[in-house]
Structure 1
Amino acid sequence: MDTSFLDSLSDSDFDLDLHLIMGKKSSQKKFATMLDSDDTDSMSSSTSSMRLDNMTENGLSEVQVGKDDLLDQCLDALYEKRGSTREKALASIIESFNSSLQNEFVETKFATLLQQCLNSIKKGSAKEVALASHAIGLLAVTVGPGEKAQEILEESLSPISDALRIRPETSKILSLLQCLAVITFVGGEDPEQTEKSMHIMWQVARPKLGANVAAFKPSPAVIAMMVSSWSFLLTTVNGWALNPKSWQESILYFSTLLDKDDRALRIAAGEALALIFEIGNLDKFCGENKDSSEPTIDEGKDSRKLMYLHGLRTKILGQVRGLSAEAGGKGSAKKDLNSQRNTFRDILDFLEDGYTPETSMKIGGDPLNTSSWTQLIQLNFLKHFLGGGFVKHMQENQFLHDVFGFTPKKKLLSGTEQRMSGSEKRMYKSPNSALSKARTQLLNKQRTLAQGRNAGHFAVDE
């Protein structure tokens, strides 16, 4: 064997290679140390205050990492033993996913990020669980419908369900419920998958108590999030596809929530009721809980059910009227009061006359419109979940374009350029975005038809 090449290498060449290797390890160590520094701003479970520019000021400039390198090093930091290091790395990942669509990173590091986030949900502190849950939700929104989204749902369902049963801190439950809603919304391919997630949510507020189940009293904030998450998933399921034995008492339950002394909870329950009436198939959501699961040929049962539904409808309309004109009480926040009044005025108009609320907002100068309770609930939920990343995702995320039928002018121009330049430019598109778009359009069409079909159900007899 000719060893002349090896012989020609000097000791200094090996020293240089060793220096480069050790330098990389040193940079990774610096990054982990920087994440653990006491000077780094603290983070809440719902928002990430650890911004990329703050991280640079805290020493990341010494490492000279780019955007992709930053995410790689944050991913490496999720293997660290110290919980605070993992928390700050997760916060940085969330910030990165909010500030831009990380399609290339997700393409190569998807499975690793998912598994590390699931490990955080299984073993981390309440803050770490909340951050990991949010990161998984952002991962699902970024990848869009397809095999990856289905994998996220399948892999995450059991850990999330287990974490919710532990009855953790409120912040932890809120993030887990949001995460479950988002990953099911993106990755759920059939009604059975969606209903399974809806049942998990329902058990948080209304657990089936047994010998081995401890009593748990959820806070109003937890119940409000459960109702909002449940409603968000209900927007994706046709009424006829629901299990008739599963939600028989839901209308009655939401009606009781309208009497609670918490405005956010009232609003969530009111929107859930409006959505149920918009979907139709009210027999799936209304029952007296008397032999409702037993088959019968008793003709009087249908008549009794109609009478019960009429009475419940009359009660709900009375509650909605009262909340739409509430004068407020001692110590009531005026902002919350106005929000409640406006929401229940819209609900009252819908229940009495069949008018759905129409909204319009600007996304980078382009109008995003909604014309049904289904669209409004989807928009409000995703806007709340994405927070500061909402506008960026609405401008560039193909999945959200399909959901809301929204096409920014900027995208139209770039599409024209792409057709002109052939294969030189690449636009991100989820694997089955066409299928997602078709499904969403079908559901929205069915909701519109349901509005007219059910308008007669809402009016109180003169």
Structure 2
Amino acid sequence: MRKAKKKSGRGAQHGNVQPFSDEDASVETLSHCSSFSDVTSVADEGGEASEDAAQEDFQYKLKGFIDSTVDKSAKTRQGALDGLKTAMATRILYEFISERRMTITDSIERSLKKGKGEEQRAAASLACLLCIQLGSGIESEEVFKTLKPVFKNILADGSANVQGRQAVATSLGLCTLVAEDDVLDVRATMECFENLFSRSYARADGSCASISAASSQLHTNALLSWALLLTICTGSQLKDILHKHLPKLPRLLESDDVNMRIAAGETIALLFELARDMDPEFEFDGWDELCDKLTALATDCNKHRAKTDKKKQRSVFRDVLKAVEEGDFQPESIRFGTERMTIDSWLRKRMYDAFREFVGSGMNYHLQANEFIRDVFQLGPPVLVDSATIKAMKISRFERHLHNSAAFKARTKARSKFRDKRSDVGDF
């Protein structure tokens, strides 16, 4: 996973310097994939001149965002950070970003230190997307070297804005996965997370500590980041973690927060999977008691819990119980463009969920075009799809409407004939 990635893509959008909308950054169409350039459709309509003009407009918008990250207005700074986030989530911008990475890093650092709440959240998320764009190499390492002390200070500061701390807890985990090159530093970061989520452990008598909803979310984010870093721990580190933390983690299953219970369950499933990978005969002393807890959560009927929470919880814990009892995982197939990837383990699921949290609906595009993410999921080099293939595969909305309309008429006609036959039978 430790290879520097230097693959660029270009994006195109017309308009003034404003945050992107989902419509501006449509990432679900195959037109994004031709040579991994976002200006393909523009080029088809207006040739190279239109492509160049669109490229200039898009880069002008991005430069405007970068300039606005130092504006006096907190709202303007946050809007600029969010605009850069959306662009990085939906396009490959390696060349543009690489040339300006330290400027962007300085803006992120400034917003993390001086901003509040939403601005810190936007800055922390942008840091992750910057590392995802740069890939696992010297450039992302330089970015992370600057931001890591800031992240850790905010995370450890109990008086800091809790929303900012929540965002940092998530971002620090993914940035460490992408850009940290020292296994000892990975373990040190994990200990920072342990100091947080361990505060949600149930007491020895089974009662839960009184924790606010905001603090519980912070602890949940810390646990999920900790679980993400489990995927890159060394064998000796894993053995130490299993001995130290697996007996304690089931206490989190007693949490009043459904998100914490689910995060704890999935983390336990991941630990069992990693332990059995190292030793197929792995045994856990508290296995029976743990299975009883998981069974109770998989069939939870407590009236004081919301129906939606119970439904979500039961679904997850049925899978977690199978993982612990049988070493089973329910695979999930992800289709992107002309390719397909199977999420076939708790390890791949934790990684996939972590990346998707930041790139959102752009995940399919990054699976196609981002060399670093493809390397993480062992997908090989990006598969180039030519324009002719894209056009042959792509169905316009109008064509889709005509097809659906024709199918509806055919079904109506067939049902009408069937109803006529039934009425004939009834006459006899």
Report the TM-score, using the length of structure 2 for normalisation. Answer: 0.69
Deviation of 1:220 (Å): 2.1
Helix, strand or coil at the partner of 1:136: helix
Considering only aligned residues, what root-mean-square deviation do their CA atoms show, in Å?
3.1
Q: In 1, distance between residues paired with 2:234 and 2:346?
A: 14
Deviation of 1:205 (Å): 3.2
| Superimposed CA distance per residue, residues 370-409 of structure 1 (whole angstroms, 9 cap, x where no aligned partner) | 221111111122112221322221221111111112359x
In the superposition, relative to structure 1, how do residues 237 and 175 fare at CA in structure 2: closer, same or farther (>3 Å)? same
Residue number in structure 2 paired with 1:233? 229
Q: Identity over aligned residues, as a percent?
A: 24
Residue number in structure 1 paired with 2:29? none
Residue number in structure 2 paired with 1:321? 295
* 8 A contact 1:239–1:281 mirrored in 2: no
Q: In 2, distance between residues paired with 1:353 and 1:205?
A: 27
1:411 has 2:379 as partner = no
In the alignment, residue 222 of structure 1 is paired with which amino acid?
A: L
1:101 has 2:92 as partner = yes
Q: In 2, distance between residues paired with 1:333 and 1:252?
A: 30
Q: In 1, distance between residues paired with 2:131 and 2:338?
A: 27
Residue number in structure 2 paired with 1:122? 113
Residue number in structure 1 paired with 2:331? 358
Residue number in structure 2 paired with 1:333? 307
* 8 A contact 1:178–1:229 mirrored in 2: yes
- Structure 1 stretch 351-360 or stretch 246-255: which is displaced more? 246-255
Which of 186, 191, 194 is equivalent to 2:183? 191
Compare relative contact order (CA 8 Å, sep 6+) and give the higher one, 1 or 2.
Answer: 2
| Superimposed CA distance per residue, residues 150-193 of structure 1 (whole angstroms, 9 cap, x where no aligned partner) | 11221111101111223333321221112101111101223212
Which of 45, 70, 77 is equivalent to 1:79? 70
* 8 A contact 2:101–2:143 mirrored in 1: no
Q: In 1, distance between residues paired with 2:379 and 2:254?
A: 37
Q: In 1, distance between residues paired with 2:198 and 2:272?
A: 22
Residue number in structure 1 paired with 2:162? 170
| Superimposed CA distance per residue, residues 113-172 of structure 1 (whole angstroms, 9 cap, x where no aligned partner) | 011111110111211111011111000001101001211221111101111223333321
In the alignment, residue 319 of structure 2 is paired with which amino acid?
A: D
Q: In 2, distance between residues paired with 1:401 and 1:50?
A: 24
Deviation of 1:89 (Å): 0.9
Report the TM-score, using the length of structure 1 for normalisation. Answer: 0.65
| Superimposed CA distance per residue, residues 382-441 of structure 1 (whole angstroms, 9 cap, x where no aligned partner) | 112221322221221111111112359x71557xxxxxxxxxxxxxxxxxxxxxxxxxxx
Deviation of 1:50 (Å): 9.2
Residue number in structure 1 paired with 2:256? 261
In the alignment, residue 150 of structure 1 is paired with which amino acid?
A: E
In the alignment, residue 297 of structure 2 is paired with which amino acid?
A: L
Residue number in structure 2 paired with 1:90? 81
* 8 A contact 1:317–1:351 mirrored in 2: yes
Q: In 2, distance between residues paired with 1:238 and 1:344?
A: 28
Deviation of 1:98 (Å): 1.7
Helix, strand or coil at the partner of 1:355: coil
Residue number in structure 2 paired with 1:346? 319
Which of 233, 247, 264 is equivalent to 1:252? 247
In the alignment, residue 385 of structure 1 is paired with which amino acid?
A: F
Q: In 2, distance between residues paired with 1:401 and 1:379?
A: 11
Which of 187, 200, 204 is equivalent to 2:196? 204
1:396 has 2:392 as partner = no
* Structure 2 spans left out of the alignment, 5+ residues: 1-15, 26-54, 200-209, 387-428
In the alignment, residue 261 of structure 2 is paired with which amino acid?
A: R
In the alignment, residue 175 of structure 1 is paired with which amino acid?
A: A
In the superposition, relative to structure 1, how do residues 120 and 51 fare at CA in structure 2: closer, same or farther (>3 Å)? farther
Residue number in structure 2 paired with 1:270? 265
Residue number in structure 2 paired with 1:10? none
- Taking the TM superposition and a 5 Å limit, the aligned residue runs for 1:12-27 are none
Q: In 2, distance between residues paired with 1:333 and 1:152?
A: 44
Q: In 2, distance between residues paired with 1:154 and 1:247?
A: 29
| Superimposed CA distance per residue, residues 348-380 of structure 1 (whole angstroms, 9 cap, x where no aligned partner) | 112212223322122235222022111111112
Q: In 1, distance between residues paired with 2:239 and 2:345?
A: 24
| Superimposed CA distance per residue, residues 18-39 of structure 1 (whole angstroms, 9 cap, x where no aligned partner) | xxxxxxxxxxxxx8xx87xxxx
Residue number in structure 2 paired with 1:378? 351
Aligned length: 328
* Structure 1 spans left out of the alignment, 5+ residues: 1-30, 36-40, 42-47, 54-63, 208-214, 284-305, 415-462
